[in-house]
Amino acid sequence: MPPADTAGGHPVTPDGRYFVVRGRLWRMSDPTLDPEKREALVSELMSARRAKRDAPDDTARKDARRRVDAAKRALGERGPVWWNDNAPDWNRHLAKNTPYAEWFAGLG
């Protein structure tokens, strides 16, 4: 299991809101989710991703994309933010162009 400051080997911002892949911030799942609910949502997300990959036509692919989006929203990775301090959402922004720039530069 990766250390607490990484997500799948990717660095996690000090506030735990994002992980960084190739310099871009990606929102973490809501840490307050019940573990059983999180597990079910992750399972649905993986199933939807497989359905998207294996879709035989555009209709099936669109349905799978809707499932992926719904699961990511339920996990808190998309849609309204899961924190409540009115901090802006920097999801998908380059870390160097956000308030996390100094922290990110310090990673080496």
Token pair 């973490």 in the structure block, residue: 28
* Beta strand 24-27 pairing with 10-11: unpaired
What is the rounded average pLDDT for all residues in the chain? 94
pLDDT digits (tens, 9 = 90+) for 9-56: 999 999 999 999 999 999 999 999 999 999 999 999 999 999 999 999
Q: Which band of pLDDT confidence, cut at 50, 70 and 90, is reported for residue 5?
A: confident
Q: Work out the average pLDDT over 57-67.
A: 98
Q: Residue 2 pLDDT > 60, yes or no?
A: no
Q: How far is Cα 45 from Cα 38, in angstroms, rounded to an integer?
A: 10
Q: Which band of pLDDT confidence, cut at 50, 70 and 90, is reported for residue 99?
A: very high
Q: How far is Cα 104 from Cα 21, in angstroms, rounded to an integer?
A: 11
The phi and psi torsions of 48 (rounded to 5 degrees) equal -65, -40
pLDDT number for residue 4:
52
pLDDT number for residue 19:
97
